[in-house]
Chains A and B, each alone.
Chain A
Amino acid sequence: MHIMTFSERPYFHVREDDIISNQNSYFGLANMGDTGFDPAKGHQLYHEYFDERIYAEELGFDGVMLNEHHQTPFCMGSVMDVEAAVLARITKRVKIVLLGNPLPVADPLRLAEELAMIDVISGGRLVPGWVRGAGSESIANNANPAFNRERFNEAHDFVVKAWTTPGPWRYEGEHYHYRFVNPWILPMQKPRPQIWIPGIVSPETVIWCAEHRYPYIALCTNIEPTIEMCNLYADVAERNGYQAGPENFGYLQSVVVAETEEKAQELGRGFVYGGGFGSFARPEWMFPPGYNSKAATKRLAKAMTDPRTGAEIIRFTEGEIDVAEVKRSIATQYVNSQEQGLIIAGTPKTVIAKIRSLLEVLRPGIFGAWYHHGPMSYQDRRTGLRLFGQEVLPAMREMAKELDLPGPFEQMPGIRPLPASGKREQVVGLGA
């Protein structure tokens, strides 16, 4: 099993009341002014976050995962490749897992160059991963959402071609045009680095992933749709002539570890700071025009309206926000998220038991430990990492052996043969 750390690298010197009253401005796309950013505090946080990744390597984690969001305090990795380049130099062994570059807003030739540089500097430790980007990224980057999926597909094909087809060549595509493609700096891993795709179990992406034999990493999704995703992936894999296994699946879990249960409870609340991901961005920014397929828009339109009364169920942001009311709902959300297993907070002992249940059901070969969010002191973050690394990590290694959960660097994804019957085996736990 590939076990990696993750955090959003938040700039958390932002008051929760301000986040709420500015309509989810902490997430997705900030509504509050960027004059609230203090570069000195930003400097300190970047360095702490880099040190935490060096520490993760010392503790024995296999990888450090980064992500990218634009124009928002909650993720300081607005140009994740810059952080990845630093990590390529200051770490020695861990995989640098980028989940992911939002392809539709990128210049794919430039991206091919950046990622190749990171792979070469790190000595072949890059795991690139690509996303369509949350809807708000289309607005943050002024990339036409109506062509989001087309651009994703074309940029993907282009980057892979730039790495694997000797240059120079000319490229005249639908959305991208290059007179001269000969990047010269090519990845160290041959024929190219493994590509992993993260997501929130959108069927279209899961199918695309299985067709490309790329591992799919579900990002903190509810268990039932995640199981459906695994089964869908495995069905598509079967149609494409291979058996999906743990090496094809990953799961990112919010998990805070502390010395006491009380402390863990206090720290875990950071995951719902300001409303957490249940209120990622203003809905109208999450669904920019054309970002959704027509089928998805139809589903959304139905979901938004009560079929009996015609009343709107989901209301878009208008008028004053009741901060106290939102805070009450956040408190409820924290309790519910723990009950549903979406947030795990506890001592190593309780955390190990909960992770075991998760691994038994989902059987992932990749596990991301999202170890903090919201305001949390450097000391508490280090303590959490240490407890995870020294106590949870060895226990997970044992579980992975016992449950036979190879990661994609132990078992190459997409080459496991189907049984002689041609019918796939079960991919999720039998109890699921």
Chain B
Amino acid sequence: MSLCFTLAANAASFSLFSRKPDGPAIYKQQCAKCHGVAGQGVKDKYSDALVGDWSVEKLTRYIAKTMPEDKPGSCTGPHADAVARYIYDAFYSREARARNKPARVELVRLTNRQNLLAVADLFRASEEPKVTPGKGLAAVGYKSRTTRREDKVLERNDTKIEFDFGKGRPEWAGEGTNGFALNWTGSVIADESGDYEFVVKTANGIRLWVNDDDKPLIDGSVSSFKGVEHTATLRLIGGRAYPLRLEFFKTSRDPLANVTLLWQPPHGARQVIPARNLAPERAATTFILSTPFPADDSSVGYERGVSVSKEWDEAVTHVAIEVATHVTKNLDRLTRSKPNDKDRAEKVAAFCAELVAKAFRRPLTDEQKNLFVTLPLRSAAKLEDGVKRVVLLTLKSPRFLYLGIEGAQPDDFTVAERLSFGLWDSLPDAALMKAAGEGKLRTREEVTAQARRMLADARTRGKVQYFLHRWLQMNHIEDLTKDPNLYPGFTPEIISDLRTSLNLFLDDVVWTDSSDYRRLVLEDDFFVNSRLAKFYGINTEATEDFVRVQLDPKQRSGVITHPYLLAAFSYNKSSSPIHRGVFLTRNIVGRALRPPPIAVAFKDADFKPGMTMREKITELTRPQACHSCHAVINPLGFALENFDAVGRFRDKDGNRPVDTAADYTQDDGGVVRLKGARDIAEFAVKSEHAHNAFIEQLFNQVVKQPLPAYGNDTLNQLRLSFVQSGYNIQKLLVDIATVSALHGIEKPASTTKKKS
């Protein structure tokens, strides 16, 4: 890019300035009326703040070419340079922003997710049974409809529950006239958090229990032979196993026998529950709130608890009541005592004290014990009401609801809390509390060792999935259906399979030893089942379950080319280079974008028939106002034009060959020629910008505080360590957890002793 220096001409128009242009003065004179005196923006003029990631040089060129708006070309050369430098140093750059408004660790309340998980973990046993997903459920068969021990004739594992016995009897049931029965037990593993609809299709009698050992979720023991579909919906937390039991029986009168166990997971299609979500061992039940919450503030790109509202206060109150009801209903089990036991009151008080300490994440002082346990227990005539009062008080207490309110000095329990909410969004477990109690969370080594231990817990997987889904914007995707005439066969089942495929891929990258971030964008292995293989024309041995296949590396490159995301960032009838480009800009190459200055809707009918998508978008974003951003967005989006609206590879857009080559302008003004997805991926894995963006997004989602609040050099340190580790995501996670846990505690030397 060449720039003309027209100093003479401009000197005339800026005659009031001396020979050495005065940046602040020019800004005040020419820019402030639209951008505000401190670049904060002016309503009805240019309301966005002047902040961003361009270099001074790029800013200078932009100003010279386009500013001021009513007289572009009138501020160039040294004038443009001076004003650009002033803007950059005064408020535009990251450093200036950090200086002007130093980020700080704010007081935050629990997010909704944290509240839900913390309540679940309040009742979690310290030892959870191990379950091994993939093996299906344990089955026991009986040769009569009753399930008497002497009628037991079968024990085996069933990878899925989908049986049609027809009019006869299965071979294992032998001869007989009194029907037969099957009981399945084990666990069901939820991949994602949300509402799961369980479905049992059968012509016979069934009962189904999920995450509740007493009350069946579905009681279909009375049946009318016709194929009946029983359904019931249950909220589950992703990444956890739940006990499941299904009883099935055929009486002598039932003409047919069949049973299928299905579900519709959140974001998924109704399907037979696959083997990978079933395990033969019984998991422990999890207490899951049914209270709905008002959405958390996520205006800065991640959910955080920086505000309270009446709706929130009422939800929190509901939660407290729901938990109080749960506790009183299960008081015998929870306190291991019976109503008439002599030591009932004692046991109940001890249980309450334990519950409060768990909820507050620290041991109680005598004063607190009195205030939160003894007094409320004593205040009610009935023991149960006293217990309810303890729970209500505890769950409405700021000590439960807020993080880091220990007061003047963070201590060992603060570290434990930061680690557990960082990695799990939940309460510290017994091991962490023990370490805190013994003063073993004081050195960097100790904290890092705990973080590493915690990585192995399923809750960390849940948290990482939570991050990845936000990084890839998968949490917003609700409807991926496309025009059925243009994309026949792109069914809800395919969409559901694609999400599973992407989840499997993400898990595979993060949870193998190398945990290499670069694989996320460079990998050419994908997970497909037979349905996906058929739709996407992939040659592989057909199987119902997902297998890893290698695709053409010239075509596919990691998440960038995963059809789920390609379809998500597409229109109903066509690809959308803008949506794809914006996603790549922000989340893969890590550039900041402002909201569009003018709203322009894409209407296909506005364009001449026969134009390619690329031509249409080029036309659409031609106006000068679009340029500053679309010069970045479009080349990235065009590089993916090889993929249609459902993510299938294509050479042609309509009848015209696809052109994916485009020049991408870097933040320093340098230009890179990109010819396809792999070029973007290779550019990204080498880009500091991209690394920083990934680290900062992970940090924000994990810690829920602004990264700059943890020190000016923290991002840099994290990146150096990340690069050194071979871009190991697990290692980065441990680093982030450690940095945030030790914030304000760690002295320069990690061996600093603290008095206890």
| A and B co-occur in one complex | no
Q: Which residues does A use to contact B, with CB under 8 Å? A: none
Q: Which residues does B use to contact A, with CB under 8 Å? A: none
